Chain A
Amino acid sequence: MTVSAALPAERLRRYVGAAAERVEDAALLVGRGRFMDDLDPFPGTLEAAIVRSPHPHARITSFDAGRALEVPGVRFVVGPEQTATLRPFPLSFRAPMPYRPAATDRVRYVGEPVAVVVASSRHLAEDAAERVNVGYEPLEAVVEVRDAMSADAPRLHDEAESNVATDRTFTFGDVDAAFAAADRVVEGEFSFPRYSSTPIETYGVIAYWDNDGTGERVTAYSNFHGPFAMQPVIAGALGLTSSRVRLIVPEDIGGSFGIKSGIYAYVALIALASRHAGAPVRWIEDRIEHLLASSAGNDREMRWAAAVDRDARVRALRVELIDNVGAYLRPPEPATLYRCFGNLTGAYAIESVALRSRAVVTNKAPTGLNRGFGGQQLYFGLERLMDKVAAACELDPAEFRRRNLIPSEDFPYSTPTGGLYDSGDYQAVLDLALERAGYAELCRRRDAGRSEGRLRGVGIVTIVDPSGTNLGYVTLATPPEQRVRGRDKSGSTEHVRVAVDASGEVTVMLGTTPQGQGHRTVARQVVADRLGLSPEQVHAVAEMDTATTPWTVSSGSYSSRFAPLTTSAIAAAAERVATTVRAAAAVMLDADPDELELAEGMVRVAADRERAVQFRHAAGLIHWDPGSLGGEARLYADAAFTPPQSRHPTANDQINSSLCYGFVAEVVAVEIDPKTLELRVQAVTSVHDCGTILNPLLLNGQLAGSIAHGLGGATLEELRYSADGQMIAGSFMDYLCPTAAELGFELTLDHVVTPSPNTPLGAKGAGEGSTMSLPVALANAVTDALRHLGVEIDRLPVHGSVLHELLGGREKRGDRPNDQKGP
């Protein structure tokens, strides 16, 4: 690993930056994890099975659960009548497209919940679910945005004027002038597929609706991970005040990558089922339900144009994005359009940009967060376009990018869309990536291979990796003139509590709902450094309970926010504890608190280390003899990190949509078998700058995982629908996730460190970068391998069959180079 910038010299900081092993692993490795299906919080919990629509679009003409209720063990069947008592969920912006957790009079996608059968076991519930009789009158379905936008398209929501849920245009800078003055204009049309993350643990909810004597209340366990803005959304649908809806998230979540943020609708649905069953109800989603109807990143159609000057510098962009959000505008959609708003122009010094953003409803399942949220779609367009510009200018794509990257002296850098890039040295990262990849040698081998009929390609991308979302970007879907003054939104606050017990042991309480990232491990490292303890003296608890954990609407785990935001709050809370402990030690040592330092388990006079007391004794004083402190004996310190850079959008629609902006340069080398057209990734080099590295072991694990996920989206995984609206990748037979066998390529990871000035530790997020960069890097590499045959990869996924068709379906002998040679 190469660290090009020195870390701030912090003599006493020993654990942040170390490759500490994960404290989470031991329990998981011996099967002691506590996941949704391991919990049994309420005696007498019943089990639910959900009846789902087999039709992409149909009117519900009748509903009869009579035969289901005859099955012994069945308690209740929730149907359209009960669902209709729920209020539609509040949407991200005002739109006449009501969304409820189940259908009431019409179904709009295959897999949409229609009924919930509650029984004494899941087997019985599924037996009975087959006996629920739903009458449907099929309606015409539409699955692609281009079709859904046409005037005679079947309308999904009668009250809406069309299937276009939102259509906004933005202009920053003088785009027309830049295009008029351009030396050349390069254009491209791209489309990005719908895929998921398929976490190993599926959705799970245990909900109990009861009355505690003072009124109705709901207690729900689920593997939801925020943003907790959805808590009031759930309460709103249930018609309860938010304090009467208590959400609890277990300590272990078996992966999510954003997908489980979509679970909140089921929390409401299972709570409704519990209300009618008069008992707690458990629902564990199965894999088929998960693929059909949980959540996925959305598919996007887009058109890009670049105004390029004489020096091959891109001066302006025109961008049109059309997102397919599925049948409903499930919040936080249409956020995919806006999550990367501040970094729309990527890593380049592009001065002006015009954008048209549309989200369209179709008869597909609703979409939402998926690792790299919004970035994989965005950069697929931008980085394919940049390669096209490089080709048009007859420049090597690396050289072309070098010319266009934001120079290191320009940081902090303001983007035309309102982004404020905190720090970076993009040239250094690109140079390191090219060096580590052996770029020149890869290109030489590609060229040498081509003359022998081999198809090799090298792809490059450079992207900005945003982290620490500013929720205010969701507001952009509402035009400024419709925004209500005083109801602006902004924020990325995170709360943390640190406590010291009577033996001097420290506990960090996190509401971050980790899903495997290792938050507890890093929290220990941060606190140990601040309090001069070893990590073994620090315990981290990651259990979220909206009734007891400090939280706000932005709490949770998404947008790579732990490293920039939560660690900042942890550090601040630990500093507060340190202040109290110093005050106690000062009494014991008869010293000035400001002279004291916390190190090696001691509180000592910095200039005279022999004058020292043990940390635990100083902490003990606070518990046992608070009277001697002469001030507040504070043992619990809360802190909220509220970055001032996260503001609501301006009246002209600029927004700094993230707190931190990391950077990724990636080089991918591929080879294609000229006969079978099988695509093999040969090597991936990924160099990241995510500011201060908190734990290189965890960081590199995140990078490897995100590269695997990006490769899945680029070559294997696809939630494909048939033209008439059936989902045809409905099991793991057809929805293909990469396995170890597909990841046998050479992987080189490296880092450059330019600490963020916006976070106390200098850290930025990093868990999503390569899911944004790898798909397009791969497309650029395959294009590089095939451009001389007239093929460009402007849609994904790409694999042998796709290449066969792009090559014109030619399959006769002699059509392909090298076709005469043996195996």
Chain B
Amino acid sequence: MKAAPFRYERPRNLDEALEMLQDEDAKPLAGGQSLVPMMAMRLARPSVLVDLSAIAELDGIERRDGGLVTGAMTRQRTLERRAGVIEELPLVAAALPYVGHREIRNRGTVGGSIAHADPAAELGLVAATLRATIVAQGPDGTRDIPADHFVSGPFQTALAAGELLTAVRWPLAQPEDRFAFAEVARRHGDFALCGAAVHLHGREPRSVRGGLLGVGPAPVVHEAQVSDAEGIAELAEQIASGLEPSSDMHATAGYRRRLARVLLERCMRAAWSGAGG
């Protein structure tokens, strides 16, 4: 479990980093919580490792244009501990404690998690559910990618070769919005077998966006109208029965489908009752 040989670079600004990343065997290094173990197992073998930690432009959280913009290198724990995050982004605040363990979140970054695109990652799910915007930058400039179109498969994203995720723009919660998050993992801190995120918004009939992780190659998000609590179970059932999760030693496909239905229903009910429904 020793990494294959690689060169290490620590650029001071974004332009320098993008330049270095033109080498097709180069890889950006964020918090290293996923990349470093993969390198140790020689599953990832970049020839150049471009450490993003000294690039000031990628760090920091700010409120801008009715949203919260988190730089790619924002540590997961920094966002979790931000004063006011519960009001600004209640769903993110609810999901973050489920991302690994505190020690992992101290180093793991918001951008790293989303760019890594593990099918069971909470942040990717929440970003897709909330319709956050991924900001990407490459040699040809900057572009916005809707988070629910960002992940194309396990560990696959819309980022082009040599392009970096530079920030995530999250829409701030509105007063009538309600949220809920729940997941089931075999142990505390493990990648979940299944997780659900719900965003209930608008007035009667309310719109509900329900997202699921762990049941497909990428987050699965559905949007529907619900007019009463009765419809919730129906909707959860309908969404779950259309899923095609895979089986592994921790959960069969059938169990994952069961969890999807139960967790989605629980979250929708919790959000609904929180909205006074």
Contacts from A to B (Cβ < 8 Å): 122-123, 126-127, 130, 286-288, 675-678, 716, 718, 720, 728-729, 731, 733-734, 736, 738-739, 741-742, 799-801, 804-805, 809, 811-813, 822-823
Stretch at the interface among B57-65, B84-92, B220-228, B251-259: B251-259
Stretch at the interface among B12-20, B151-159, B184-192, B207-215: B184-192
Contact B266 A823 (CB under 8 A): yes
A-B pairs, 8 with minimum CB distance? A741-B188, A811-B258, A286-B1, A804-B255, A801-B255, A801-B251, A823-B266, A675-B262
Query: Quick one: which of A288, A733, A734, A811 contacts B254, CB cutoff 8 A?
Result: A811
Question: What residues on A are CB-neighbors of B250 within 8 Å?
Answer: 734, 799, 801
Q: Is B135 an interface residue (CB 8 A)?
A: no
Chain A CB within 10 A, most for which of B2, B42, B263: B2
- How distant is the Cα of A309 from the Cα of B69 in the complex, in angstroms? 75
Question: What residues on B are CB-neighbors of A287 within 8 Å?
Answer: 1
In angstroms, how far is the closest chain A Cβ from the Cβ of B189?
7
- How distant is the Cα of A610 from the Cα of B237 in the complex, in angstroms? 88
Contact A739 B187 (CB under 8 A): yes
Question: What residues on A are CB-neighbors of B237 within 8 Å?
Answer: 812-813
In angstroms, how far is the closest chain A Cβ from the Cβ of B168?
26
Q: Determine the residue in chain A with the shortest Cβ distance to B269.
A: A822
Can you identify 16 A-B contacts, CB atoms within 8 angstroms? A123-B2, A126-B2, A286-B1, A288-B1, A288-B41, A676-B184, A716-B186, A720-B249, A729-B249, A731-B41, A734-B250, A801-B193, A809-B254, A812-B237, A822-B266, A823-B266
1/0 contact trace for B230-258 toward A, CB 8 Å? 00010001000000000011111011011
User: 16 extra interchain contacts, Cβ-Cβ under 8 A, other than A739-B189, A801-B250, A823-B269?
Assistant: A122-B2, A123-B2, A676-B259, A716-B187, A728-B249, A734-B249, A736-B186, A739-B188, A742-B187, A801-B193, A801-B255, A804-B252, A805-B252, A809-B252, A809-B254, A811-B258
Instruction: Given A811-B258, A813-B233, answer yes or no on A127-B266 (Cβ-Cβ < 8 Å).
Output: no
Q: Determine the residue in chain B with the shortest Cβ distance to A674.
A: B262
Q: Determine the residue in chain B with the shortest Cβ distance to A288.
A: B1
Query: Quick one: which of B4, B41, B257 contacts A811, CB cutoff 8 A?
Result: B257
Query: Quick one: which of B5, B187, B255, B258 contacts A741, CB cutoff 8 A?
Result: B187
In angstroms, how far is the closest chain A Cβ from the Cβ of B47?
14
- How distant is the Cα of A123 from the Cα of B45 in the complex, in angstroms? 14
- How distant is the Cα of A812 from the Cα of B241 in the complex, in angstroms? 9
Q: Is B104 an interface residue (CB 8 A)?
A: no
Question: What residues on B are CB-neighbors of A813 within 8 Å?
Answer: 233, 237, 261
Q: Is B68 an interface residue (CB 8 A)?
A: no
Question: What residues on B are CB-neighbors of A742 within 8 Å?
Answer: 187-188
- How distant is the Cα of A736 from the Cα of B250 in the complex, in angstroms? 10
Chain B CB within 10 A, most for which of A676, A736, A805: A676
Contacts from B to A (Cβ < 8 Å): 1-5, 41-42, 184, 186-191, 193, 233, 237, 248-252, 254-255, 257-259, 261-263, 266, 269-270, 273
In angstroms, how far is the closest chain A Cβ from the Cβ of B227?
18
Contact A800 B251 (CB under 8 A): yes
Chain B CB within 10 A, most for which of A288, A676, A720, A801: A801
Contact A741 B249 (CB under 8 A): no
In angstroms, how far is the closest chain B Cβ from the Cβ of A172?
40
Q: Determine the residue in chain A with the shortest Cβ distance to B237.
A: A813
Query: Quick one: which of A718, A720, A738, A800 contacts B255, CB cutoff 8 A?
Result: A800
In angstroms, how far is the closest chain B Cβ from the Cβ of A253?
21
Contact A736 B255 (CB under 8 A): no
Question: What residues on B are CB-neighbors of A733 within 8 Å?
Answer: 191
In angstroms, how far is the closest chain A Cβ from the Cβ of B272?
10
Q: Determine the residue in chain A with the shortest Cβ distance to B241.
A: A812
Contact B251 A676 (CB under 8 A): no
Chain B CB within 10 A, most for which of A678, A822, A823: A823
Contact B184 A800 (CB under 8 A): yes
Question: What residues on A are CB-neighbors of B233 within 8 Å?
Answer: 813
Question: What residues on B are CB-neighbors of A738 within 8 Å?
Answer: 187
Q: Determine the residue in chain B with the shortest Cβ distance to A125.
A: B2
Q: Determine the residue in chain A with the shortest Cβ distance to B247.
A: A801
Contact B258 A804 (CB under 8 A): yes
Contact A741 B252 (CB under 8 A): no
In angstroms, how far is the closest chain A Cβ from the Cβ of B2?
5
- How distant is the Cα of A305 from the Cα of B267 in the complex, in angstroms? 48
Q: Determine the residue in chain A with the shortest Cβ distance to B266.
A: A823
In angstroms, how far is the closest chain B Cβ from the Cβ of A204?
14
Question: What residues on A are CB-neighbors of B188 within 8 Å?
Answer: 739, 741-742
In angstroms, how far is the closest chain A Cβ from the Cβ of B86?
20
Question: What residues on A are CB-neighbors of B269 within 8 Å?
Answer: 822-823
- How distant is the Cα of A716 from the Cα of B249 in the complex, in angstroms? 11
- How distant is the Cα of A822 from the Cα of B262 in the complex, in angstroms? 10
Instruction: Given A805-B254, A809-B254, A813-B233, answer yes or no on A741-B189 (Cβ-Cβ < 8 Å).
Output: yes
Question: What residues on A are CB-neighbors of B252 within 8 Å?
Answer: 801, 804-805, 809
In angstroms, how far is the closest chain A Cβ from the Cβ of B233?
6
Contact A736 B2 (CB under 8 A): no
Chain B CB within 10 A, most for which of A738, A804, A805: A804
- How distant is the Cα of A126 from the Cα of B270 in the complex, in angstroms? 52
In angstroms, how far is the closest chain A Cβ from the Cβ of B98?
12
- How distant is the Cα of A800 from the Cα of B258 in the complex, in angstroms? 11
Q: Determine the residue in chain B with the shortest Cβ distance to A731.
A: B41
- How distant is the Cα of A823 from the Cα of B254 in the complex, in angstroms? 21
Chain A CB within 10 A, most for which of B189, B248, B250, B252: B250
Question: What residues on B are CB-neighbors of A720 within 8 Å?
Answer: 249
In angstroms, how far is the closest chain A Cβ from the Cβ of B122?
16
Question: What residues on B are CB-neighbors of A288 within 8 Å?
Answer: 1, 41
Q: Determine the residue in chain A with the shortest Cβ distance to B251.
A: A801
Query: Quick one: which of B41, B186, B251, B270 contacts A823, CB cutoff 8 A?
Result: B270
Question: What residues on A are CB-neighbors of B186 within 8 Å?
Answer: 716, 736, 799-800
Instruction: Given A729-B249, A736-B190, A739-B189, answer yes or no on A127-B262 (Cβ-Cβ < 8 Å).
Output: no
Q: Determine the residue in chain A with the shortest Cβ distance to B250.
A: A801
In angstroms, how far is the closest chain B Cβ from the Cβ of A677?
8
Query: Quick one: which of B187, B249, B262, B273 contacts A718, CB cutoff 8 A?
Result: B249
In angstroms, how far is the closest chain A Cβ from the Cβ of B195?
12
Question: What residues on A are CB-neighbors of B257 within 8 Å?
Answer: 811
Question: What residues on B are CB-neighbors of A809 within 8 Å?
Answer: 252, 254
Question: What residues on A are CB-neighbors of B249 within 8 Å?
Answer: 718, 720, 728-729, 734
Question: What residues on A are CB-neighbors of B4 within 8 Å?
Answer: 127, 130
Query: Quick one: which of A122, A127, A800 contacts B5, CB cutoff 8 A?
Result: A127
In angstroms, how far is the closest chain B Cβ from the Cβ of A720?
5
- How distant is the Cα of A801 from the Cα of B5 in the complex, in angstroms? 41
In angstroms, how far is the closest chain B Cβ from the Cβ of A715?
9
Question: What residues on B are CB-neighbors of A286 within 8 Å?
Answer: 1
- How distant is the Cα of A371 from the Cα of B251 in the complex, in angstroms? 28
Contact B187 A678 (CB under 8 A): no
Question: What residues on B are CB-neighbors of A822 within 8 Å?
Answer: 266, 269, 273
Q: Determine the residue in chain B with the shortest Cβ distance to A811.
A: B258
Q: Determine the residue in chain B with the shortest Cβ distance to A819.
A: B262
Q: Determine the residue in chain B with the shortest Cβ distance to A728.
A: B249
In angstroms, how far is the closest chain A Cβ from the Cβ of B244?
14
In angstroms, how far is the closest chain B Cβ from the Cβ of A201?
15
Question: What residues on A are CB-neighbors of B184 within 8 Å?
Answer: 676, 678, 800
In angstroms, how far is the closest chain B Cβ from the Cβ of A308?
37
- How distant is the Cα of A527 from the Cα of B273 in the complex, in angstroms? 67
Q: Determine the residue in chain B with the shortest Cβ distance to A739.
A: B187
In angstroms, how far is the closest chain A Cβ from the Cβ of B276?
15
In angstroms, how far is the closest chain B Cβ from the Cβ of A117?
12
- How distant is the Cα of A675 from the Cα of B263 in the complex, in angstroms? 9
Q: Determine the residue in chain A with the shortest Cβ distance to B234.
A: A813
Question: What residues on B are CB-neighbors of A678 within 8 Å?
Answer: 184
Q: Determine the residue in chain A with the shortest Cβ distance to B40.
A: A286
Question: What residues on B are CB-neighbors of A728 within 8 Å?
Answer: 248-249
- How distant is the Cα of A675 from the Cα of B1 in the complex, in angstroms? 40
Q: Determine the residue in chain B with the shortest Cβ distance to A123.
A: B2
In angstroms, how far is the closest chain A Cβ from the Cβ of B230?
11
In angstroms, how far is the closest chain B Cβ from the Cβ of A79?
21
Question: What residues on A are CB-neighbors of B2 within 8 Å?
Answer: 122-123, 126
